[in-house]
Chains A and B, each alone.
Chain A
Amino acid sequence: MNITANTVVRTTRDDHMIAWLTALAISIHLLESALPSPFPGFKPGLANIVTIIVLCQYGLKMAIWVTLLRVLIGSLLLGTFMSPTFILSLSGAVATLLMLTLASSLSQVFPAWAPGAIGYSVMGAMTHISVQFYVAYSLFIQHEALLTLLPILATTSLIFGAISGIVAMAVLPELEARR
């Protein structure tokens, strides 16, 4: 293909959808970064509501696009690109997406056990905190005292994962109705 000044880049409906949803996820991501944190390492992760909604409504491929773009663009806007924050954010996102990929392929094999929004959300949150903590511990701060934080972080992760899942459960039927 010759790229000339007249070449029109064709975008699909999916591309538009990804762009809109990513924009929404980035907005939540930015708003959330302005919230004060009660203790280090704590963040509610409400932008993941978008990931879960996209996963349930539009499928895994879209969810992967939206999440990775959000992490990348969010870090560029916040000025954390390639910083430890970004590495933590990316490793958590990649691990979560792998987990969601595994879970959604498993649920095709065992449809009776397929999780819904809250299941995916809690699973994602727990994977996110475990992997992020492991990366933080092994790359940045190898101090044993840090390990005592893990149970607390995992507890808040479970709570906010469940809240995100409940929000997604509330939003999904509305989306379905407007399709």
Chain B
Amino acid sequence: MIVVAKTFINQMTKGDVFVLAMALVFLVILYVVFWRVASHAGEYIHIVAKGGAVEKLSLLQNREVTIEGQLGNSRLQIEGGRVRFLSSPCENKLCIHQGWASLSGELIACLPNRISVSIEGQNSHFDTVNF
């Protein structure tokens, strides 16, 4: 195994080493740029519910909100710059199990009840997102 590895390393040219080094530098830059930008704390949440109604709430104010969805009322809790589903009339409760979300760009949703909550902050470039 070591012998095989050695023959490969010996076969590598100066150009190969240069390319590998550049690739590693590129990777480091990607991690620094995208993992730092994306992990900005969110400032407010956009709630989209039944019929496309949009509500915008601050994340800084601790409160509980009740949202009317397709199946019934879901309750959201906003606390300490984070938001989570407290209760929802859906069957699988996936929305509650998603837990807290706090970073700009994160999204929690209850699909059966047609409610989505996206977190936005200074770095949100988009007004709407279509899928």
The reply to whether A145 and B15 contact each other, CB–CB distance below 8 Å, is no
Residue of A144, A151, A169 near B105 (CB, 8 A) is: A144
Whether A119 contacts B124 in the complex (CB less than 8 A), given A147-B38, A166-B8, comes out as no
B30 touches A114 (CB 8 A): no
Interface string of A80-122 (1 = CB under 8 A from B): 0000000000000000000000000001000011111011101
How many residues in B have their beta carbons less than 8 Å from beta carbons of A?
A: 30
| Chain A binder among B16-24, B47-55, B92-100 | B16-24
CB-CB under 8 A for A116 and B30, given A143-B126, A144-B123, A166-B8:
no
Given A118-B20, A154-B30, A155-B27; A148-B38 close (CB under 8 Å)? yes
Complex contact B38–A114 (CB within 8 A): no
CB distance B124 to A107 under 8 Å?
Answer: no
**What separation, in Å, do the CA atoms of A141 and B126 have in the docked complex?**
11
Number of CB contacts from chain A to chain B under 8 A: 83
Shortest distance between the CB of B93 and any CB in chain A (Å): 22
Chain A residue nearest in CB terms to B20: A122
Chain A's closest residue to B123 (CB) is A144
Give per-residue flags for B62-85: 1 if the beta carbon is below 8 A from chain A beta carbons, else 0: 000000000000000000000000
Q: Which of chain B's residues 11-54 have a Cβ closer than 8 Å to chain A?
A: 11-16, 18-20, 23-24, 26-27, 30-31, 34-35, 37-38
Beta-carbon contact of A114 and B106 below 8 Å: no
The answer to whether the Cβ of A158 comes within 8 Å of any Cβ in the partner chain is: yes
Contacts of A170 in B (CB 8 A): 8
Instruction: Give chain B interface residues in 107-130, CB to chain A under 8 Å.
Output: 107, 123-126, 129
- The docked-state distance in angstroms from the alpha carbon of A143 to that of B106 is 10
New A-B pairs, 10, CB < 8 Å, besides A143-B126, A148-B34: A116-B11, A116-B12, A116-B15, A118-B8, A119-B13, A122-B16, A143-B129, A144-B123, A144-B124, A151-B30
Considering the complex of A and B, which 6 residue pairs feature the smallest CB-CB distances, nearest first?
A115-B15, A119-B16, A119-B19, A144-B105, A151-B30, A148-B38
Binding site for A on B (CB under 8 A): 8, 11-16, 18-20, 23-24, 26-27, 30-31, 34-35, 37-38, 104-107, 123-126, 129, 131
- Chain A: residues with CB nearer than 8 A to chain B? 107, 112-116, 118-120, 122-123, 126, 141-145, 147-148, 150-151, 154-155, 158, 161-162, 166, 169-170
A-B contacts, 13 of them at CB < 8 A, read: A115-B15, A119-B19, A122-B16, A122-B19, A122-B20, A123-B23, A141-B131, A144-B125, A147-B38, A150-B34, A151-B27, A154-B27, A161-B23
